[in-house]
Every structure is written in C-alpha cells, then in structure tokens.
C-alpha cells in the first residue's frame, strides 16, 4: 500500500522457511526491489516489505499504474499503485528527507550513555555478512560484533569459513575478537570487513557495538549487507539511508504532532519543541525508551564543529533529559561520546545544572559531572568520616607490612589546599613507595602486587585497576565500609622517581618531591602526606594548583 509518509510497504503471508523477493514494476520494467524482513504471528509467517529511494524514480516516465509483485516459486500481484501517486510520493519524500538532513546532524547515532549496541533484525539465510563504511579516508572501528543464530546463540568459530577485510590495525581478527574488543581497520577508502560461513546460516539478528568515545562518529556511514545462498545481496542496515531518515521523521511527527513538527520546520524550532515536550512532563523517566532515543540523532555529537550557540542550550537541555532518563538504570553514565557538543567548561556546567533541575523535580539526589562520567554529587563530602576511616585503616595495615603509604593526587590536593575532600572528586588515592629501585614496568607491577597480596583477605578485596596491566595502580576494596581506594606505586631511579602522572602516563620527576613524610590533620585524623607536597602538587597540577578547577585534566580538550 502507498502511505502518506512517503513509503510503499506492506506484508504478505508466506510459507514456513519460504524466502521471497518483492519487486515494483512499470509494465515489464523492474523499477525497485523492496527490503524484506520476516516475523511469526499467531501461527503464521509474514514477509514485511518496504521500498527505499522511490523518490529518485522519474514519475513522469511512467504513465501506467505501477504494480508490486512477490517473486518466489510463482509471481503474485500484491498491489497496484496509481502512476500519479509516485509523483506525490517523490515530492513528499524529498521534503521529509531534506528536513532530517537539516535537523539531525548525528543521524544514525549508535552508542550513548550505556553504549547500547545497534540491534538489526535479520531472520534471513545468509552465506556472507559484510560490514562497510560508505566514506573515504576513514577507519572501520567498532567495539563488538555479534551474529545471532538459532536459540539466541552467538555464532561460533567452527561455522566460519573466512574473515576478510580491506586492511587491519587489530593484532588478531577472528570471531571471538570481533565480539570483543572489536575491529580496527587502517585508514581506507570505503573500509570493509566480510564474514563468510561454511554453510548457509539463518541469521536472526546482528548486534553492532560502537566505540564509546568521540571516535564513534566514524560509524555514521555504516552499511551492513547480507549475501544469500542465491547470491542475492540484501541491504540489512544503512545508517544514514532514506528509510532511516523517513523513520526518524515519522517518529518525530507522531511524538510532537503535525502542528509542532512538519517538513519545513527549522532545526531551532524542532529542538525547542522537543525541549517543551520532555520538560513539561512530570513523568520523564516513564517515557517509552524509543522516545528518549530520538534525542541523540538531533544533537551535534557527530558534527565536526558546533557553531550555532542559539541552539546549543536546547541541545544541552535535551542531553540532560536523555541522561536523567538512563540514570534510572545506573547513575554512572558515559558522556565521552558527547565530547564535540560538550567542548568547553560552560557547556559542561550547563549540562550538570540542567540535569540537576530535572533530578530535583523527580526528588532524586543531585549529581556531578566528573572525568569518569556522571556520579552522585559529593560522594566523598557527604560522609567524609567513612572514607577517612577507610584510608586510615588501609594506610595502617600497609605500614605494618613495611610499606610507605601516603595520600596521593586529588586526595592529597584536597587535604593540602582545601583541608577537605574536593567536592567534584569521585575517588580516593594513596601512594605506596616501593622498596626496590631501578625497576622496569613489569618489575614494578610485580612489586606492588607483592605488597597488596599480603593484605588481610577478610578485610580487603584487591584487584588490578587494569586487568591487562596497562596501569600499575591497584584497586583495594575495604569490605567493612564498601569503599574503594586506588593504590598507586612509585619507585626511585637515582635522582628521579617514576610514577603515573598526567593522563595516567608514567614519567620521572625529581626524587626530592617524593621523599619523606609528614602528617597533617584530615577530618580530625592524622594522615601521612609527602614531605614536599607543595612541590609535587605544582609538578602534577601546575603552578595554579592552589586555585580550584573543577574540570582540570578533563578526558578531552576543552576550548575554554
């Protein structure tokens, strides 16, 4: 049937295990082939068809009625479309496509606060699945790919014949590494990866997990193709295809109504209408998830540069609504993927303020933005005694083992500068001086593990902060208080000390900065600090360390 949303689509009952094609004809001329998906409902199997890009057909060349046929074992007429309807379809569709091009700079957004995967329903017998980017000078780079077959099982290695690709930077490429940690091509024109099966497999769904940071924008021109046993190519997903654009248009139209959303709307008015919709309601967290997920495509997260300050506040209000919604799942949310929108201190503070306006309305505790994402506000300052007692217990036990611990990094900065925990800090850090000298990385890792392994297992749970050993710090969980403390080692090499500094990179600093201990009062408890703490803090945080900066060492570069 022809719908006023600019689509020709429908469904037809088919036999079990029957796979069909649906084609649009003008006379005997084949004009277009539909995308077909399958479902089971009330004991029947249905083929759902939808034609893409019909607006590109020159309607003036086809004066007779158009016909839709199902092609399988026989050819069956499904629908007849008046010829003048195609011209109307083209005009309507072009207006709607132009609207989405105008208002949705991050069309096809994949990821978000929880880095949810893109889930593509397939339900087709396939011999090959091909992942590709329709762009030049770019990287195919994702964090996970799962092909789901019968009984919700992810496809296993024995079913794979070949995995080929345009290029690779990943060390290993097999079906397990594709699932996690994913794949990284070299820079290519139209990079691709192809998975061929030993035998035809019915693929139920494909789960594509994007990078969770700013580089996730590379997935915008994503396209996924399946090749069936008859060598027919099926377009399974096109991230910025016309069907995706028209689907987004229809969803926004249904959400806001035709008086508030229409093809000629400006981007500013579309954002304003969405802000009114989400901020005027008292049940934001009870909105359907599919409504909330309309927000990311309209933000500037995948735009090269955010220039229109007029619309930025509305964008940030919408991002706040999106994050508040997902805080019902977990408080700690990823904001790395929104880096391009949140490119200065003002916008970060604006986002935090708008989140807390909504949280306060919902009678939920306030949050702060930290370099790790979103977190409950003042986690350390709401109950400092709990954290100080945990630090004191661990330091005493480490000293009993012969180690030399003291406060470190942000915890040290707060103790020296503010005589309190830093309000926007969200973790607790201590140093441990290693007794060995002139060590390499592996020796230092072994040395800190040797010390922490001697801690009482009835009081502490100890794990590497990085299972792969990418960093030397250890996570020590104090069981009684449920407080997690980061333990960072350092060691001497002649006149220098080696330790984690900016962005967790190891570097050497003058040994004098790390030698000796003093005790200072901290919430009524005497705790050890570096004897030359001021010099260390200047080395670590710069000469302005005594002036608070909430966004110091943010995970991405801030313009202001």
What CATH number did the domain enclosing 501 receive? 3.30.460
Cβ-based burial of 467 (10 A; exposed 0-12, middle 13-18, buried ≥19): exposed
The rounded percent of the chain whose pLDDT value lies above 70 is: 95
Residue 46 lies in a domain: yes
Tell me the sheet residues that pair with 29.
26
Residue 556 lies in a domain: no
User: CB of 191 within 8 A of CB of 206?
Assistant: no
Structure tokens at 389: 């007692």
Same domain, residue pair 60 and 167: no
What are the pLDDT digits (tens) for 281-338? Answer: 778 999 999 999 999 999 999 998 766 666 799 999 999 999 999 999 999 999 999 9
User: CB of 462 within 8 A of CB of 469?
Assistant: no
What are the pLDDT digits (tens) for 214-238? Answer: 999 999 999 999 999 999 999 999 9
What DSSP line would sit under 419-479, residue for residue? Answer: SS--TT---EEEEEEEEEES--HHHHHHHHHHHHTTS-TTTEEEEESSTTSSS--EEEEET
Residue 89 lies in a domain: no
pLDDT of residue 1: 41
Distance in angstroms between the alpha carbons of the first and the last residue of the chain: 54
Most confident of 84-98, 170-184, 417-431: 170-184
Task: Provide the sign of the torsion angle of the four alpha carbons 361, 362, 363, 364, taken in this order.
Answer: negative
User: CB of 319 within 8 A of CB of 338?
Assistant: yes
Same domain, residue pair 18 and 148: no
How far is the C-alpha of 122 from the C-alpha of 147, rounded, in Å? 10
How far is the C-alpha of 272 from the C-alpha of 270, rounded, in Å? 5
pLDDT of residue 3: 43
Between helix 309-326 and helix 345-361 the angle, nearest 10°, is 50
pLDDT of residue 466: 76
Domain boundary among 347, 374, 401: 374
User: CB of 369 within 8 A of CB of 408?
Assistant: no
For tokens 């306060």, what's the residue?
360
Same domain, residue pair 530 and 513: yes
What is the band of 54 on the pLDDT scale with cuts at 50, 70, 90? low
What is the band of 445 on the pLDDT scale with cuts at 50, 70, 90? confident
Specify the pTM: 0.77
Same domain, residue pair 201 and 306: no
What are the pLDDT digits (tens) for 476-508? Answer: 999 999 999 999 999 999 999 999 998 788 999
Residue 313 lies in a domain: yes
Residue 11's contacts (CB-CB under 8 Å, 6 or more residues apart) are 46, 47, 48, 49
Same domain, residue pair 6 and 67: yes
Structure tokens at 9: 């689509």
The rounded percent of the chain whose pLDDT value lies above 90 is: 74
Same domain, residue pair 223 and 267: no
What is the band of 56 on the pLDDT scale with cuts at 50, 70, 90? low
What are the pLDDT digits (tens) for 89-133? Answer: 778 888 999 999 999 999 999 999 999 999 999 999 999 999 999
**What's the whole-number mean pLDDT along residues 382-397?**
95
Please report, for the domain that includes residue 36, its CATH number.
2.60.40
Residue 204 lies in a domain: yes
Residue 290 lies in a domain: yes
3-state SS assignment for residue 205: strand
3-state SS assignment for residue 81: strand
Say yes or no to pLDDT of 253 above 50: yes
How far is the C-alpha of 108 from the C-alpha of 239, rounded, in Å? 5
Same domain, residue pair 496 and 472: yes
Same domain, residue pair 324 and 348: yes
SS percent in the chain: helix, strand, coil, step 5 = 30, 30, 35
Domain range enclosing 136: 118-240
Structure tokens at 375: 């977190």
Domain boundary among 191, 207, 240: 240
Instruction: Name the strand (E) or helix (H) holding 287.
Output: none
Residue 102 lies in a domain: no
Same domain, residue pair 368 and 429: no
User: CB of 424 within 8 A of CB of 550?
Assistant: yes
Range 289-294, long-range pairs (CB < 8 A, 24+ positions): 289/325, 290/251, 291/255, 292/321, 292/322, 292/325, 292/326, 293/112, 294/248, 294/251, 294/252, 294/255
Residue 253 lies in a domain: yes
Q: How many structural domains are present in the chain?
A: 4
pLDDT of residue 560: 66
Tell me the sheet residues that pair with 407.
430
User: CB of 341 within 8 A of CB of 302?
Assistant: no
Please give, one letter per residue, the 3-state secondary structure of 499-532: EECHHHCEEEEEHHHCCCEEEEEECCEEEEEECC
Tell me the sheet residues that pair with 32.
24
Same domain, residue pair 398 and 528: yes
Same domain, residue pair 320 and 345: yes
Domain boundary among 209, 240, 271: 240
For tokens 């998906």, what's the residue?
37
Q: Where are the beta strands (DSSP E) in 89-191?
A: 118-133, 141-148, 160-165, 183-184
- Average pLDDT value over all residues in the chain: 91
Same domain, residue pair 347 and 395: no
């Amino acid at each position: 049937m022809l719908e006023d949303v600019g689509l020709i689509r429908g469904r037809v009952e088919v036999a079990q295990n029957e796979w069909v094609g649906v084609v649009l004809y003008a006379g005997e001329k084949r004009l277009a082939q539909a995308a077909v998906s399958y479902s089971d409902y009330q004991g029947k199997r249905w083929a759902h068809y939808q034609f893409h890009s019909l607006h590109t057909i020159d309607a003036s060349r086809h004066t007779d009625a158009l016909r839709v046929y199902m092609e399988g074992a026989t050819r069956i007429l499904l629908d007849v479309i008046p010829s003048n309807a195609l011209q109307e379809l083209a005009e309507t569709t072009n207006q709607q496509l132009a609207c989405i091009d105008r208002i949705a700079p991050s069309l096809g957004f994949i990821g978000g606060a929880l880095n949810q995967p893109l889930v593509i329903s397939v339900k087709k017998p396939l011999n090959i699945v091909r992942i590709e980017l329709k762009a030049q000078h770019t990287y195919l780079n994702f964090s996970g790919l799962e092909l789901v077959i019968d009984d919700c099982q992810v496809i296993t290695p024995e079913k794979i014949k070949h995995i080929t690709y345009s290029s690779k930077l990943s060390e290993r490429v097999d079906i397990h590494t594709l699932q996690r940690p994913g794949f990284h091509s070299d820079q290519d024109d139209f990079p691709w990866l192809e998975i061929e099966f030993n035998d035809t497999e019915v693929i139920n769904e494909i789960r594509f997990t994007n990078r969770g940071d700013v580089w996730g924008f590379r997935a915008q021109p994503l396209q996924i193709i399946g090749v069936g046993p008859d060598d027919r190519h099926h377009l399974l997903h096109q991230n910025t295809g016309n069907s995706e654009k028209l689907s987004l248009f229809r969803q926004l139209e249904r959400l806001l109504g035709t008086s508030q959303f229409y093809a000629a709307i400006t981007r500013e008015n579309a954002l304003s209408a969405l802000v009114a919709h989400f901020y005027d309601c008292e049940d934001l967290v009870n909105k359907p998830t599919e409504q909330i997920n309309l927000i990311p495509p309209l933000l500037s997260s995948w735009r090269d540069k955010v220039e229109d300050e007029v619309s930025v506040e509305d964008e940030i209000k919408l991002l706040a609504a999106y994050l508040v919604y997902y805080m019902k799942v977990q408080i700690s949310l990823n904001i790395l993927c929104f880096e391009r929108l949140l490119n200065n201190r003002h916008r970060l503070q604006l986002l935090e303020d708008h989140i807390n306006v909504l949280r306060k309305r919902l009678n939920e505790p306030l949050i702060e933005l930290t370099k790790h994402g979103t977190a409950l506000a003042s986690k350390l300052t709401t109950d400092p005694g709990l954290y100080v007692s945990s630090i004191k217990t661990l330091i005493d036990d480490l000293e009993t083992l012969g180690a030399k611990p003291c406060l470190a990094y942000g915890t040290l900065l707060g103790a020296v500068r503010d005589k309190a925990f830093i309000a926007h800090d969200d973790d607790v850090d201590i140093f441990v001086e290693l007794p060995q000298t002139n060590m390499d990385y592996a020796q230092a890792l072994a040395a800190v593990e040797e010390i922490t392994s001697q801690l009482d297992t009835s009081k502490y749970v100890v794990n590497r902060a990085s299972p792969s050993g990418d960093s030397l710090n250890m996570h020590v969980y104090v069981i009684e208080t449920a407080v997690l403390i980061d333990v960072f080692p350092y060691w001497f090499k002649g006149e220098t000390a080696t330790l984690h500094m900016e962005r967790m990179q190891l570097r050497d600093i003058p040994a004098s900065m790390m030698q000796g201990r003093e005790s200072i009062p901290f919430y009524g408890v005497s705790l050890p600090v570096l004897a030359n703490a001021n010099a260390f803090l200047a080395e670590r945080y710069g000469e302005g360390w005594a002036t608070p900066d909430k966004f110091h060492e943010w995970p991405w570069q801030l313009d202001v």
